[in-house]
Amino acid sequence: MGIPQSHLGTGEYVVLHLRTHMKAVFGQILLGVVLTAALGGAYYVEPESWHPYGLIAAAIIWALLMLLWVVWPIITWRMQTYTITNRRIITRAGVINRKGHDLPLRRVNNVQYERDLLDRLLGCGTLVLETAAEEPLVLHDVPHVERVHVQITEILFTDADTDGEPELLREE
C-alpha cells in the first residue's frame, strides 16, 4: 500500500514505494521456527502426569511468545515504508501510533549509500540523504539501494522540463 493520491500535491507522483528489506525480520522468523520446535519438543518430553495441561500451558506460552517476539515485530516491519515522489521522500512507520517524515528533494545536498558484506549478499543497504540544515535522513535496509540511489540522483539532477517520468522500480 503506497501513499494515497490525496496525500500528494498537484503534479506530484510516486516514483518508488519501498519497505525495508526482509533482512530486518530474519531474526524473528528464525525465532518463530525455534519456538515452534520447542513446542514440538515439549510434546515429546512432557511427563504423563502433566497430560494434557502441560501441553496446553506450553501452547499458551508459545502463542504469547510468538505474538510478542515474532508476529508483532513482523507487523511493525510491514508498516514501515519509504516512498519517493518527484518532490519529496516520505517515511512512514508504526502500527498503532504512526510516525512520518517528509523531506523535500530540493533540500537534499548529497545522496550516498553504505553496504556491508551482508547487505551486498542480500541486495540491500543504507541510504543517507544529507541536507544543509539538518541531520541526515538515514534509511536502513533499503532493497536495491544502488538502484534507488541512482533513481534519486536522476530526480535531483533532471531538468524540470523533462516530460518523461523516471522508470519505476517494483517492490520485490
Ranges of the chain with pLDDT below 70: 1, 159-172
User: What residues contact 160, with CB distance under 8 A and at least 6 apart?
Assistant: none
Reference 152, options 137, 132, 172; nearest CA is 137
Element housing 127 (H / E): strand 124-131
Encoded amino acid at 85, one letter: T
Residue 4, preceding peptide bond in cis (omega within 30° of 0): no
In contact, 78 and 95? CB cutoff 8 Å: no
Provide the CA 31 distance to its chain's centre, in angstroms: 19
pLDDT at residue 170, as a whole number: 46
Cβ neighbour number for residue 42 with a 10 Å cutoff: 17
For residues 46 and 54, the answer to whether their CB atoms sit within 8 Å is: yes
Q: What's the pLDDT at 158?
A: 78
For residue 161, what pLDDT is reported?
A: 43
> pTM of the entire structure?
0.76
- Note the pLDDT of residue 119: 94
Element (H, E) at 140: strand 137-143
